[in-house]
Amino acid sequence: MTSMHIGVDSFVSEVTDPKTDHVVGPAERMAHLLEEIALADRVGLYSFGIGEHHRSEYYDSAPPVILAAAAARTERIRLGSAVKVLSADDPVRVFQQFATLDLISNGRIDLVVGRGSFTESFPLFGLDLADYDALFEEKLDLLLQLRDNVEVTWSGRFRPPLVKQGVFPRPVQDPLPIWVGVGGTPQSFARAGLLGLPLMIAIIGGEPRQFAPLVDLYRRAGAHAGHAPDKLQVGLHVFGYVGESTQAAADTIYPGWHKMFTSVSRERGFAPPNRPQFDATAGPNGAFFMGDPQTVADKIRRVAEQLGGVDRLSLQMTNPLLAHDDLLRGIELLGTEVAPLVADV
């Protein structure tokens, strides 16, 4: 048996309270978010991650600022990115920001980096979407060199070179944990394995068990590169919600799920979502981890077995029609009832 760590991720979405139709403004939403993180810390959850988006419906465009506020209000919980869009940023600044966060939190930071599933950051920062993968590969290389060396000499295509340049401050953790966030691209899984970096898989559709061959590819690539098995950690970022009962959880979360995925489907040319699709996604084999605590715990254990072991799972409960009190209750149930049931997966 190994210990599985359970946490929460948030995209800090704009929210309309479904009970009152009150539109929660950005300042109030940030106050609610910090309350959510403080509760996650109190109920014993392992981690809380903040996403990064540059869209009107999310307030998480500057995750290091949010994480700094969270670090000052918490004592034990690990804090991190979910994910940091490295392709659209400067690795030097990313390292400095997260090293500083590590100092503020006294060594409780995880940096999860990825390419991002939305593309609005590319035109925003003057980048060419045709360089989507090349940007990430080069910037990840530089980020790892900055982490592993106090003084760096480096050159690449997308930023000026560094010549015997020191980058400060240095973090408490040595090395600062850097995870690679991936979707469903085999090359991304193989790259993380070859680098010996822990893997965070975003599962937003389909069936989680379908990722088993990709997880196996990651582990085989890591073994081929000579990395010890304990370095090849696997984490899951999944959508979900924990309620008092499975029916109550579904009724609470469905309206916001429908609104959120209707918008995404319209943007990407998909068919609009419907309740049967939601029910299938939230069912025993679907990607959505939703239900009463025992149902969610059973699904976590089953998926961990299907994937050959999972070290960490983060539940993303962001929902534009989820009342603050309901979200707090979901976090409480996740920490007090679900996490103990899966601690020995």
**Domains of the chain, start order:** 5-342 (3.20.20.30)
pLDDT tens-place string over residues 242-293: 999 999 999 999 999 999 889 888 888 888 889 999 999 999 999 999 999 9
What region does 236 belong to: left with phi over 0, alpha with psi -120 to 50, or beta? beta
pLDDT at residue 1 tops 60:
no
Over the stretch 105-142, which tens digit does the pLDDT of each residue have? Answer: 999 999 999 998 788 999 999 999 999 999 999 999 99
**Chain-wide mean pLDDT for the chain?**
96
Instruction: Give the pLDDT mean for 189-200.
Output: 98
pLDDT 10s digits, 199-217 = 999 998 899 999 999 999 9
pLDDT of residue 279: 93
Q: For residue 2, what pLDDT is reported?
A: 65
What single letter denotes the amino acid at residue 111? Answer: L
pLDDT at residue 104 in the model: 98
Q: Report pLDDT for 207.
A: 96
- Proportion of the chain above pLDDT 70, given as a percent: 99
**Mean pLDDT, residues 173-180 taken together:** 98
> Is 70 exceeded by the pLDDT of residue 327?
yes
Selection from 227, 182, 92, 198 nearest residue 146 by Cα: 92
The pLDDT value recorded for residue 151 is 97
Q: What pTM was computed for the model? A: 0.96
Q: Is the pLDDT of residue 103 over 60?
A: yes
In this prediction, residues 305-317 reach a mean pLDDT of 97
The pLDDT, as a whole number, for residue 243 is: 98
Q: What is the pLDDT of residue 15?
A: 97
